[in-house]
Chains A and B, each alone.
Chain A
Amino acid sequence: MGMFIKSLLFSLNIYIISTFIVLIVIGLINILNRLIVNNKNN
């Protein structure tokens, strides 16, 4: 049971880190979208 909880916590940790990186990718795409759209408008 101890190992199950420990491994569950580890996998949830992986999920949190992955979600954080996903948020970075979303931010990156939004920044790129804005930069390219602004350049187009100029």
Chain B
Amino acid sequence: MESVLRDFVSIFPGLEVFSHMSPLMGFTRVFLIVFGFVLCYLGYKNILEPLIMVPMGIGMAMVNAGMLMMPDITDPSRHHIGTMFLNSMLEKPNEIVDAFQVYFLQPIYTLTFSNGLIACLVFIGIGSITDLSFFIANPRMSLLLAICAELGSILTFPIAMSMGFNAKQSAAIAIIGGADGPMVLFASLQLAKELFVPISIVAYIYLSIVYAGYPYLIKLLVPRYMRGVTMEQFSIKEVSPFEKIVFSFVAGTVLCLLFPVAAPLFVSFFLGVIIRESQITRYIYITDNVILSGATMFLGFTLGCLLSADIVVDPKMFKMIILGFIALFLSGLGGLFGGLIAFWVSKGTINPLLGIAGVSCVPTTAKVAHKCAQEVNPQAYIMMYAMGPCIAGVITTAIITACYVTLIPKSGL
């Protein structure tokens, strides 16, 4: 009976591979298939960010279902548990070229993830949908709120160091606190390539949870009457497209000059902004509908496909889950603290929820701030005001990332 069952199972390599893995790995594999479905469902229901969670959930479920015993690329006589999706562990050029002919996602991973191109493509798209008006009209308030909301990117670094990560790994993990997905990808590729996959996955899962979790933090820390401030007395001066183009050109050039290591991100973001403000409709269509949508879909799908059972059972993953939570919690806390200071300094004209928008996750945190204000006072339309700190958050996260990338090798840590 047992041999009949074994023969039957051997017809299906995806089931047979269970016999080659430990019970923990087998359980994790089944858990990730179910977890992928749950993420996909929560994305479909708009509880989590659908643009990332739907492709990520599908990738996560399918990659863990589709495991089989694969011949080794370097030595075909040896076999290991793998998939037909991609292999993120290859480093030698000839192995990578061979992998192009085996794994269907390998070209996308090697040519867009390994060099950070996917982060730059997302940044071009974000730039092309970003209106800098409020940010340029009120740079001081926007940037000061955003720098308060970087608390997690700063304080997570020593916590990660004390949990056993080295300086480069700690900095890459700390950048999760900036709540900027492309920046996390870029930082982990620059600082800790070996942790790129788990850091990116933890970051993107948390960034989606931000949408559901931050409203509770807001309700806990900001009194109801403050949440409903309409900001009517706070005027926004009109900013012309020319001013936005000049700012993008000058700020982009200065930031590239100061931090050449982060120049690809700066140039991508400001290229998107300048395309938008130049009103080149064909380019705007391509950057928004093709580049941003395409890059986001492949980003979510490829990250999901990278989350196989062997990565989850790594003990470092558990630490990163805790650190990712700490980073985003501290950033939210710092942002709200900055917002409360702004409320008191402005004698009640600035809505303190603008602080949470400084956690840069464009435009999610601005939407969270707006939604929480509307719940208390339907007259409080703070979305356009919240976009200022939100965009400033992208710039401050880029600055902090650039500081870490530049200064860590010189720090001796």
Contacts and interface: CB of A to CB of B under 8 A. Distances in A.
Interface of A: 3-8, 10-15, 17-19, 21-22, 24-26, 28-30, 32-33, 36
Given A11-B158, A28-B251, A29-B139, A18 B413 contact: no
A10 B147 CA distance: 17
Nearest to A23: B143
Given A14-B404, A14-B407, A32 B399 contact: no
Question: Nearest 9 A-B pairs (CB), nearest first?
Answer: A7-B158, A8-B158, A7-B161, A11-B157, A29-B139, A4-B162, A14-B403, A11-B154, A15-B154
Interface string B50-63: 00000000000000
Given A7-B158, A11-B155, A22-B143, A29 B247 contact: yes
B140 interface: yes
B330 to A, nearest CB: 12
Interface residues of B, number: 36
19 contacts: A3-B161, A4-B158, A6-B413, A7-B162, A7-B167, A12-B154, A14-B157, A14-B400, A14-B404, A14-B407, A17-B403, A17-B407, A22-B147, A22-B396, A25-B255, A26-B139, A29-B247, A32-B246, A32-B250
Summarize A's interface: helix, strand, loop or mixed. Answer: helix
Contact of A21 (B139, B154, B155, B258): B258
B322 interface: no
Contacts of B162: 3-4, 7
A37 to B, nearest CB: 9
Interface string B242-264: 11001100110011001000000
A18 B170 contact: no
B158 A18 contact: no
B411 interface: yes
A6 to B, nearest CB: 7
Given A18-B403, A29-B136, A32-B250, A11 B242 contact: no
B395 interface: yes
A26 B142 CA distance: 9
Contacts of B255: 25
Contacts of B161: 3-4, 7
A19 B147 contact: yes
Contacts of A12: 154
Given A14-B400, A15-B154, A18-B150, A7 B413 contact: yes
